[in-house]
Every structure is written in C-alpha cells, then in structure tokens.
Amino acid sequence: MGADGDLRPICAFAAKSAEQAARIAGVLTLYADPDATEIDATMMGRGTELAQYYLGEALRLIDAATVDKELRDADALWQWLKDFWRGWAVGPTDIAQNGPRCARTQVQIRLMPYFAHSGVSGHPFR
C-alpha cells in the first residue's frame, strides 16, 4: 500500500480493510449464531476473504473509470482539429507548432494514427 503499491489508487479504502474484515466477520458470526460472544478464526478468515474481494472490486472499478492518457491526448487533438484548425490538411509540424500542448512533441505525434483511418472529413493527415 506504499507509494508504488498495488493498492495506491484506493489507499484510503484499503487502510480500513482490516476493520472492515473484522466487522464482516462479526456479522457472519451473529448470522450463524445469534448468541455468539466472540468471533472464531473461521469467521475471521471468511471476513478477511470478503474484505479482499471488496478491495479487488474497488481496484477493478477504479481501473474501469480511468481513461488512458493517450486517449485523453487524442481527444484533445481531435477537439483542437474541430475547433481551431482551418487548413485542409494537417501534419506533424502544424500540430507541433500550433496544436494542443499535449500533442506538441514529436513523441505525441503518435496520436495521429487514431485519426488517420477514422474518416475525419476536412482534416486529412499529411
């Protein structure tokens, strides 16, 4: 859960997972035996399993909601083409000199293939 750990995107949620596992184990214990006064190791193990499942689901949902940087950059380039570019054709030099900041370096010119075969009318690539 450190700075580069797998749980970094959900660190606040993950920090509480031990407490959540104990609460889940308590609920499972009372469901199984309403007169129980303590949580046994079996129920704690089940609570831990469920808490781990919830951590995995939280990570999955965060990953699903995250938009790839290259896709965001491609969208910024697309918006720039639609809103500001008035030429008939556009090339790497045009983008590097006038395009959105995220697409100005030669490395970012790789975004052009996103549009090369998309049938973007009015903005063919050179």
Q: Kindly indicate the confidence band of residue 122, based on its pLDDT and cuts at 50, 70 and 90.
A: very low
% of the chain surpassing 90 pLDDT: 34
d(CA 126, CA 123): 9
Contact (CB, 8 A) for 85 and 33: no
Residue 118 three-state SS: coil
Contacting residues for 120 by C-beta, under 8 A, at least 6 apart: 78, 81
Beta bridge partners of 90: 125
pTM of the full structure: 0.53
67: which DSSP letter? P
pLDDT tens track for 87-103: 777 777 777 788 888 77
Residue 41 three-state SS: helix
% of the chain surpassing 70 pLDDT: 78
pLDDT tens track for 104-120: 775 455 666 666 555 55
Q: Kindly indicate the confidence band of residue 45, based on its pLDDT and cuts at 50, 70 and 90.
A: very high
- Tell the burial category of 115 from Cβ atoms under 10 Å away from its Cβ (0-12, 13-18, 19+): middle
User: Which position has the higher pLDDT, 1 or 23?
Assistant: 23
Question: Is the pLDDT confidence value at 40 over 80?
Answer: yes
Give the chain's mean pLDDT.
80
- Tell the burial category of 126 from Cβ atoms under 10 Å away from its Cβ (0-12, 13-18, 19+): exposed
